[in-house]
Amino acid sequence: MNNQWKEYLQCQHAVLTDDENSVEHFGQPQDEHAAITTGNIICPISRTTFIHAAGDDAKTFLQGQLTNDISFINPQLSQLSGYCNPKGRLLALFRITQHADGYRLHFPESLLDKTIGRLKMFVLRAKVTLEAADADVVRFGIAGDQAITQLGAYFSTLPDAENGVVEADGITVIRHPGHRPRFELIGHVQTMQTLWQTLSPNFTAVGSHAWQRLDIEAGQPCVLAETVEMFIPQMLNLDVINGVSFKKGCYPGQEVVARLHYRGKLKRHMRIAQFTADACPPPGTPLYAVADPEGQAIGNIVLTHPIPGSATDIEFHALCVIANEAAVDNAVCLQGDTKTALKLQDLPYPFPSEG
């Protein structure tokens, strides 16, 4: 986390995580939890960065590397797009925005070094540069029924649909999917401090984890260091949430992804789940059938978010990739513990077909 931004947030009563790279809460964790569920919140978004792709061949280069059709991106529309290995397994999942100086590929900063290094291997003679975001670029999120009204007092225009983008006064505003309006704001630290100061009196400040909670509720996946090369795009429902195109040209892994779409039958899909456990299972944690909790894994956790509860019985919301035949209530659990049975919830979009 940028040091200037960190110090500013601490002056706003932020309590940092042990590694000081994220905000745990702003002093009232129970009240903040309630606000995440029903109120209007403002939260720092941490552990996220972007790769800046610029140059005459930037569009062509990205088109040949990623799962989605880059030609549909414009300065007012962002796009999800995956980056696969030759076997069709996801190395990263980006939200891409277009700007006057090129494209920005937003994703977890833990994947930055390996991802930018791999992409640069394929630049060859193309006129494209790939650079990491400046260290003084920070971001925070706004969500709730008052988000549009409050942001509208600051910005002359806002994205009027999910995945929309507006750029004004050095700040990028991205509207993310969700059952309530939510926006990600990105800019240089000094500008963002001023914006936080302006907006925060109208919102409840909450910890960085809130953004993960909202991603889970919206069924929006991510690829983290623990899950690199674990999932193919369709397992994360990217074919349903417009993260993969089956009409564009070739990219690494395209043959595998396309064959599954046209000829195969996908046996696992991502779902939203709720369960209790005594500790937070990390992304990638295998899942098992309740009837055989020591047997072969039938899925994996994509993303988890703890919900405050008793000290010994913590409730979690999660995105999980689960075998279709096992995806029924109380049929999936963590290894060796049938008490952790997952209760599945409806996705906020149509469930993917198996084909």
CB 273 within 8 A of CB 256: no
Q: What is the pLDDT of residue 353?
A: 65
User: What are the structural domain ranges in the chain?
Assistant: 1-220, 225-345
User: Residue 354 pLDDT more than 60?
Assistant: no
Reported confidence tier of residue 113, pLDDT bands at 50, 70, 90:
very high
* CA 274 – CA 252 distance, rounded (Å): 34
Distance of alpha carbon 339 from alpha carbon 159, whole angstroms: 43
pLDDT at position 312 is 58
The token pair that represents 302 in the structure block: 């994509």
Tell me which of 136 and 335 has the higher pLDDT: 136
Q: Does the pLDDT at position 36 exceed 60?
A: yes
Q: How many residues does the chain have?
A: 355
Q: Across the chain, how many H-helices and E-strands are there?
A: 8, 19
d(CA 293, CA 296): 8
Which of 157, 131, 3 has its CA nearest to residue 58? 131
Task: Quickly state the pLDDT bin for 246 (edges 50, 70, 90).
Answer: very high
Q: Which of 211-225, 259-273, 301-315, 322-336 has the lowest mean pLDDT?
A: 301-315
Contact assessment for residue 355 and residue 264, using Cβ atoms and an 8 Å cutoff = yes
Token duo for residue 112: 């930055």
Is the pLDDT score of 338 beyond 90?
A: no
- CATH number assigned to the domain covering 1-220: 3.30.1360.120
Q: What is the mean pLDDT of residues 222-246?
A: 97
pLDDT tens track for 259-276: 999 987 899 999 999 999
Q: Give me the helices (H) in the chain, please.
A: 3-11, 29-38, 58-63, 112-121, 147-152, 189-199, 209-217, 254-262
Structure tokens at 22: 């994220």
Interacting residues of 254 by C-beta distance below 8 A, sequence separation 6+: 67, 84, 88
Fold of 225-345: Elongation Factor Tu (Ef-tu); domain 3 (2.40.30)
Q: What is the pLDDT of residues 283-300, one digit of tens each?
A: 999 999 999 988 999 999
pLDDT of residue 311: 53
pLDDT at 308 (0 to 100): 66
Q: What mean pLDDT is predicted for residues 171-184? A: 97
Give pLDDT, residue 328. 77
User: What does the pLDDT read at residue 327?
Assistant: 83
Q: What does pTM read for this prediction? A: 0.95
- Please write the tens of the pLDDT for every residue from 43-58: 999 999 999 999 999 9
